[in-house]
Structure 1
Amino acid sequence: MSPEQPEPPPSPRAAAARRALRPLGDALRDSTGPLLAGAPKAWQRRAPYVVAFGFAVALLSTTATVLVQDYRLEGGWAGALATAQGAPLLLAVTRPLQAWLIVFVADIVGAVLLLTSAADLDGRSWPWPPAVVVGYLLLMVCLGLREPRRTLLAVWLATGAAGLAFELLSQQHSDGVHLLLFVLSGVVLLVTAALRERGDAQRRLVEQETISEVERAQRTLLEERARIARELHDVVAHHMSVITVQADSAPYRIDGLPDAAREEFSTIAAGARESLTEMRRLLAVLRSDGSAGERAPQPGLDRVQQLVEATVRAGVPAELSLAADLGPVPPSVDLSAYRIVQEALSNVVRHAPDAPTRVSVTADPDWLTVLIVNGPATARTSPLESSGTGHGLIGMRERVRLTGGTLDTGPLPDGGFRVAARLPLAPPTTEDPS
């Protein structure tokens, strides 16, 4: 058995036409305002009024002429009926239900007048003349695109009941046009209501997807902040432990300390120990998800070489340029730089598994610069993940923001991607307000 052939892609012209008509179709199915109120162009928003005006003028003149010439109805009655049956079509663009009530009453009055006052009904459509049928179906279109199911069902049943009543009233003059209008109006209402409900469902789906995307982004941001807080705990705890030890040992290391200084050092040590206790409580909350692997010592730039080697073993041709004279790097910057390289290389493995990649870490007296650049994929291979969770870039931005640095990410002209981070090697200095 031969494999199924894929369907040919649509032509560019058909695809362009579909994209151009999609906003118009969405506006047509929108049931929150006048017809095509949400169309992107002004002439599209005015089109329903122009069409309704054209139908109203055409039906008004046609109805009056037919009632006078074919049904031999008096000119005054004919003009009044034509106006009552055609003019409300202008109202149908914004208030279709009110327009239907006016037309429905006018159609019933017209049928009664034709039965009692018309000179000639032989061979003529009754109770609904042809112009009445056309105008009524146009009203059904407007109703179906705006009103709920119960209203549409009531309108359809009222149409059938009126036709049945006239059929029972005078079977001699009835030619079955009431049954035709009953069927056609039901079909039109069903089709237009289905279009409207489909549009409403799509709009609700888009709104829900937007809300879900915002919630997902917020959740991802909070997860990354919690993860960074857990990782920085060891850095902060180390400094607090050093403060505690120095404060406790100061009276023994320094001879001749006055009692006030000894008490001050004791207070500093007690405050540092209390801070450590509070940090451990906070860390217990952050680790409430049961992640035990985070208790290992936090990595730094000394392990970037291992990251690159693991990436090469995964099939990515990566190379590292690490400055030999980095000098002292603050622990938070050291950890952030390592994580930025780790997340950038993970993204390369996921989305461009065979792209050549270069990692560069350099430093000057004030800034540490981390640059990860990958080229385009050299072979037609499928990425390991078609869509990411968004944690990578969010985590990078949070780490850079935490250290007071800058981050620049984005695609390259050749199809690759670049991640550039500048992290300060010294805390920002603040001027003395005095």
Structure 2
Amino acid sequence: MLLRDGLLRLARPFVQALVTGKAGPPFPRPRRLRLPVPASLGLLPFRTVDLVLLAEILLAWFLFDTGLLQLMTQQEILLRAGLVVKRLDEPFLWFAAAVSSLPVLLRGRWPLAAWRLAILGSLLATPITGVLLNQVFSPAQTITYLLIVYSVAARCEREITLGVLTVSVLGFTATTTYNTQLILMSVILLAVAALLGYNVRIRRLASSRLAEEEQRSKRALAAQATLEERARIARELHDVVAHHMSVIAIQAEAVPLQAAGDARRLEEGLGEIRALSLAAMTEMRRVLGVLRDGDGRTDTAPQPGLGRLEELVGTARSAGLTVRLKLGGNLTGLPTAVSLSAYRIAQESLSNAMRHAPGSTVSVKITRSGAELHLQVANDAGRPSPTEPGHVGHGLIGMRERVSMLGGSLWAGPVGSGFAITAILPIMENA
């Protein structure tokens, strides 16, 4: 059993080389090796000229013409010297020259098929070249064979290349037993051609893998950027919707009670709800502008910042909160990201107070200390809230994400009967 497996393993390269093996797909060629056909020649069936294929056609023709001329010349020399008594018909000479050169045309697309055809052609042409040239391989045939071995090594697996090289060496040794130096030279040339092709294959595979890795990295970075953008949009939408919807819900509940049948007060309350709804829609359009088409129809209005803090506090007060605002330091000229994050944190804190502690007293303190912006929002217990105890939404998560992006810190938790949020945001000019 082990002997059989060993023999099969040894025979596999030869079987693949001679029968079952297949070459890999051709590697893409640089664009500079393709020349466009001029418009004046537009009737041609092709639009570009493959310079590699053109070179192979010219090489095959040169090898064929050279080999045929050598055979004809050598036959005339042997006839004049009386070393041969019968002239070979020209079709035989043409056949020997063709099988010795034309397989080079196949090596670019089908290198293994070209090698098998070259092996078969060598066997068929040996009676002619052996008589006229006194050697198995003509110079044209040698060049063709070395080029094909190179192509096989550049396109095939290592095991197939080993089988091709071994068969070539054994075949040449079996037909050239009288010249050890010639055999050694042939083995060296075959090995060099195979090694050059194998080296080219390794470099091309490495380049291909590197290109694939670069594409994979680009796709991963694009996907990561998409996820980050989706998270940013979701965070902005949550802040906008949570705040405005909380205020609208509270207003819708309080307005009928405050109006007590007074149509004028009811109308004023509904007007406030409408204004809040329009403000929410405006901010949502601003956030969703990045999702619109690429025709330039996007909302370019600036994002809110600390300059709109008084408006935010006024909205919270209209929802029943008692808000005490205290500002310290120079809050003008802050980087956009810092100002926006501070505004959103204050907005979400007030929204949480509306939902969890309606009617509470909220203290908002924002101060600038050197290269840091300190923000603290604290509220007392307020009235009992219908929100389920222990309910955790996305507001605190969004706050922590904002602070983390700026490299700051945030603390949030109960203080006495109320709740407090403290954030420290570094002020960086590139933020």
TM bracket (short chain): 0.3 to 0.5
Question: With structure 2 as the length reference, what TM-score do the two structures score?
Answer: 0.47
Question: With structure 1 as the length reference, what TM-score do the two structures score?
Answer: 0.47
Give the number of the structure whose alpha-carbon radius of gyration is greater.
2
